[in-house]
Chains A and B, each alone.
Chain A
Amino acid sequence: MKSSPHVVRLLLPVVVFAAVILVWEAIVRINNIQPYVLPGPVAVFQTLIYDWAVLSQSLGVTLLTTLEGFVAAAIGGIALALLFNQSKWLEYSLFPYAVILQVTPVIAIAPLLLIYLQQQTAVVVCAWIVAFFPVLSNTTLGLNSVDRNLAGLFQLYGATRLQTLCFLKLPAALPFILGGLRIAGGLSLIGAVVAEIAAGTAGAGSGLAFRIAESGYRLNIPRMFAALFLLSVTGIVIYGVLALISHLVLRRWHESALGKES
Chain B
Amino acid sequence: MAEQASSELDAGSPLAVSLRGVTKVYDSGVAALGPVDLDVRRGEFVSLVGPSGCGKSTALRLIAGLAAPTAGTVSVSRLAAETRGHHPIGFVFQEPTLMPWASVRENVRLPLKLAHAPTSEADARIDEALAQVGLAEFARAYPRELSGGMKMRVSLARALVTDPDILLMDEPFAALDEITRFRLNNDLLALWRKLHKTVIFVTHSVFESVYLSQRVIVMTARPGRIGAEFRISAAEPRGEEFRTSAEYAGFCRQVSNALAPAYAGQAGA
Chain A residues within CB distance 8 Å of chain B: 147, 149-150, 152-159, 163, 167-168, 171-172, 174, 252-254, 258
Majority SS at the chain A contact face: helix
With contacts A156-B66, A156-B89 known, is A150 near B97, CB below 8 A?
A: yes
Residues of chain B contacted by A157 (CB below 8 angstroms): 87, 110-111, 114-115, 162
Size class of the B contact interface (CB-based, 8 Å):
20 to 34
Known: A158-B115, A172-B101, A254-B100. 16 other contacts (CB 8 A): A149-B97, A152-B91, A153-B93, A155-B66, A156-B64, A156-B65, A157-B114, A157-B115, A158-B87, A163-B114, A167-B99, A167-B110, A167-B114, A172-B99, A253-B142, A253-B144
Answer yes or no: B95 CB below 8 A from chain A CBs. Answer: yes
Interface of B is mostly: loop
Partner of B66, one of A150, A152, A172, A258: A152
Q: Are B101 and A174 in contact (CB under 8 A)?
A: yes
> Is the CB–CB distance between A171 and B115 below 8 Å?
no
Closest 10 CB pairs of A and B: A149-B97, A149-B93, A253-B100, A157-B114, A171-B101, A157-B111, A159-B114, A253-B101, A152-B66, A253-B142
B contacts, CB < 8 Å to A: 61, 64-66, 87, 89, 91, 93, 95, 97, 99-102, 110-111, 113-115, 142-144, 162
In the complex, chain A residues whose CB is within 8 Å of the CB of B97 = 147, 149-150, 153
B144 near A258 with CB under 8 A, answer yes
Q: Can you list 10 A-B contacts (CB < 8 A)?
A: A149-B93, A152-B93, A153-B93, A155-B66, A156-B87, A157-B110, A157-B115, A157-B162, A167-B110, A252-B142
Contacts of B110 in A (CB 8 A): 153, 157, 167
- The chain A residue with its CB closest to the CB of B64 is A156
How far apart sit A131 and B91, CA to CA, in the bound complex (Å)? 42
Alpha-carbon distance between A105 and B100 when the two chains are bound, in angstroms: 39
Closest residue on chain A to residue B91 by CB atoms:
A156
A253 to B95, CA, bound (A): 17
**Bound-complex Cα distance A156 to B110 (A):** 12
Chain A residues within an 8 Å CB radius of B100 = 253-254
Chain B contacts for A147, CB-based, 8 A: 95, 97
Say yes or no: A154 contacts B114, CB within 8 Å: yes
Instruction: Tell me, rounded to whole Å, the shortest Cβ–Cβ distance linking B49 to chain A.
Output: 21
- Bound-state CA distance A228–B34 (Å) is 71
Residues of B within 8 A of A174 (CB): 101
**CB-based contact B65/A167 at 8 Å:** no
CB distance from A25 to the nearest CB of B (A): 50
**Interface core residue of B99, B102, B113 (most chain A CB under 10 Å):** B99
- Contact: A158 with B114, CB < 8 Å? yes
Which residues from chain B contact A253 at a C-beta distance below 8 Å? 100-101, 142-144
- Given contacts A252-B142, A253-B142, A149 and B95 within 8 Å (CB-CB): yes
